[in-house]
Structure formats: C-alpha cells, structure tokens
Amino acid sequence: MKEGALIRTLLVALPAGLLALGVGAMVMTHVKSESDPVDPNEAVRLEAAALKRREVNPADLARDLATLSDRIGDRHSKKGAGLEGAAFWLESTLGGGNIGYVVERQEFEAEGKEFRNLIAELPGKERRREIILVGVAYDTSSAAADVSGNDGAVVALLSLARALTGEAQERSVRFAAFSHSADPTIPVKERGAARYAHQCRARGENVVATLFLDFLGEGKATTPTRFIGNEESFYLVDSAKGAFHHQTGQEALGQVVPPGDSAPGAPSFIAFQEAGIPAVSVRVENETSVPDTIRTREEALAETVRGLEAIVRAWANP
C-alpha cells in the first residue's frame, strides 16, 4: 500500500476505532450498572443475612403476634407510645442485628405529628433496577374494633422478609411498612403509603408490582383469599391467584375495583395505583363463626404467607 493511502486509512480508521471503543465502554458501563451492586459490601452482607433465613413457620408468627398484639397493642396517632414502639420493634427486627436488612426511614409530618415509613430491600441480580414491593400499614385505626387482621398482615411481612433474606432474586424485593395509613378516615393522599408511592415516582424508581398486605385475618379453611386490583393491574391479580393456589391449594378470588378514590375510606393500596404503580391488595377476612379445629390461627396464617411468598418469588423471577 502506498504511503499516502496508508496515512488516509489510518486517519479514518483511528477515530472510528476510538469512537467504537467509547461506545462499547458506555454500553458495558450501562449494562454493568444495571446488575452490579452500589454497595461494595453487599455480597458480604447478603452472605451474613442468609445465615438468618428461616422458612415461614407458625412459631415465628406466634412470637411476632404476641409482641405486636399483646405487648405493643394499639398503635395510632392517639396512642403515640404504641406507634413509636411498633416502629422501633419493626426497624430493629428487620435490621442487621436480626433478620439482616439495611433499613431506610422516610420521615414525614401529618396532623402536626411526626411519622415514619420503614423500608428494607433485598437487592436483585441481573434485573435489580426492577422492584417488587411488599407493603403493609403497621399502624392501627383508632376506630377499628378488630385489629387482628392488621396484626396478621404486619407479622406476615416480617415472615416474608425472613424467608427471603440474603437470597437475591432476579429483581429486587423491597419490604415497606407504612405509618399513618390504616385509619380509613385519613384521605389516601395524606397517608404514609401515598407519600412513599410518590417518592418512588420522584426518584424514577421502576416499581413493577406492589403486593399490599391489606388484611390477613383468621383464615378459616372456608375463607377465600381475595386479590384486588384495578383494570390496569388485573394481570397481576391473575398471576397472584395462580401462584397462591398452586402453592396452597386454597381458593383464591380476584376482584376489580373502580379507579382510585382519594376520599376517606379508600384502601391504602390505591395510593400506588394513583401514582401509576401497579398494585394488588390481598385480604383474608375473619370468619369467627366458622369452626376450624384442624389448624391454629398461626398455622392458618403460615399457610397463607407461604402462598404470598410464592407470589413474590414468581414476580421477582419472571
């Protein structure tokens, strides 16, 4: 090749090569950032947390129910000590010294008082930027005569977090306990659940599905588990029903609700729908008139929570 032609080739090829390398580096950096941990200690932390993993079981549920129902009791804005006690207990139980999560606080003010949501995340693998959110209201309503279903939902979240701790799924799994959210007289937009849903949107987080533990009552053998969502999230209702029934063999029903209503009385999971985040609520009603001598309350609840775990695993590993 003549010297002039060689020079011209190099002048064209060198910039093109550098450009290709730059583009390739950007692509690799982007791909790497999708799956690589931000926390350099993540692997060690997950390995330590895995040692604390336990399958869902009646004994853990009974212990947590005793703490929440008997020792802490009512926990709403008029029972500040109970609400603070519940927040401290949840944060401590989810935290590194117990189940093994790093717990984030979202603090906010409402009605002239301070409240806080608590968030714990199990980081995912290749699809870690896609988030499966499991949420519950950890306060109680000052007007509710029966809070046992709310207690069941709160301890169910702890059991799910314990069953998954240290075991990374494809997607990230985030556990969130919301304050100032259980009382139906509070407008949806003012609840802790709504504040967190809007924070997720403001951060640009990709929450692909929310499972809101709305009410998990006695769970008698004849009581169906209801999965509730709007038309946009009904595909999640169907998949939740399928995974739940496959795991437990129990009847599961789906229900479509009308578009979100911010008026008092609307359930808190609607806050996520209003923020454009797909959400499904799960409810198991109390049926105390139906005798069930085969299972204790904790055994029935454990079976329900195993079904919920199957849903979370299915959603987190599409």
As a whole number of angstroms, the distance between CA 300 and CA 291 comes to 13
Same domain, 12 and 49: no
**Better pLDDT: 149 or 189:** 189
Residue 3: give the domain boundaries.
1-36
Residues with Cβ within 8 Å of 281's Cβ and at least 6 positions away in sequence, in order, are: 212, 214, 227, 228, 229, 267, 269
The answer, yes or no, to whether residue 89 has pLDDT greater than 60, is yes
Q: Which helix (H) or strand (E) holds 244?
A: helix 234-248
Asked whether residue 217 falls in the same domain as residue 293, the answer is: yes
8 with 46, same domain: the answer is no
The residues, any chain, with a CB within 8 Å of residue 229's CB and separated by 6 or more, are: 236, 237, 254, 255, 256, 257, 273, 278, 279, 280, 281
Query: How confident is residue 146, by pLDDT bands cut at 50, 70 and 90?
Result: low
Is the model's pLDDT at 308 over the cut of 80? yes
On whether both 29 and 54 belong to a single domain, the answer is no
On the question of pLDDT at 293 being above 90, the answer is no
Same domain, 31 and 54: no
Residue 29's pLDDT band (boundaries 50, 70, 90)? very low
What CATH number does the domain containing 50 carry? 3.40.630.10
pLDDT at 221: 59
Mark whether 73 and 3 lie in a shared domain.
no
144 pLDDT band (50/70/90 cuts)? low
- Which pLDDT band holds residue 141 (cuts at 50, 70, 90)? confident
For residue 264, give both structure tokens: 């008092």
pLDDT digits (tens, 9 = 90+) for 173-201: 999 999 999 988 888 899 999 999 999 99
Residue 19 pLDDT > 80: no
Average per-residue pLDDT for the chain: 86
What is the average pLDDT across 267-275? 89
pLDDT of 33 reads: 53
Whether the per-residue pLDDT at 35 is higher than 90: the answer is no
pLDDT at position 225: 93
Distance CA 267, CA 285 (A): 15
| Co-location of 25 and 152 in the same domain | no
Residue 266 clears pLDDT 80, i.e. is over it: no
- Same domain flag for 100 and 12: no
Tokens representing 241 are 């029903």
Are 213 and 311 found together in one domain?
Answer: yes
Same domain, 300 and 170: yes
> Which range scores top for mean pLDDT: 2-11, 48-57, 230-239?
48-57
Over residues 80-105, mean pLDDT: 95
pLDDT band at 257 (very low <50, low <70, confident <90, very high): confident
Which pLDDT belongs to residue 223?
77
7 and 145 co-located in one domain = no
Query: Which of 73-82, 103-112, 119-128 is predicted with the least confidence, judged by mean pLDDT?
Result: 73-82
Please state the rounded mean pLDDT for residues 123-135. Answer: 97
Say whether pLDDT at 80 is over 60. Answer: yes
Regarding whether 103 and 14 lie in a shared domain, the answer is no
Identify the band that residue 25 occupies on the pLDDT scale cut at 50, 70 and 90. Answer: very low
Per-residue pLDDT, 148 = 58
Instruction: Read off the pTM.
Output: 0.85
Q: Is residue 133 pLDDT above 90, yes or no?
A: yes
User: What DSSP assignment string belongs to 7-47?
Assistant: HHHHHHHHHHHHHHHHHHHHHHHHHHHHHS-SSTTHHHHHH
pLDDT at 114: 94
Indicate the number of domains in the chain.
2
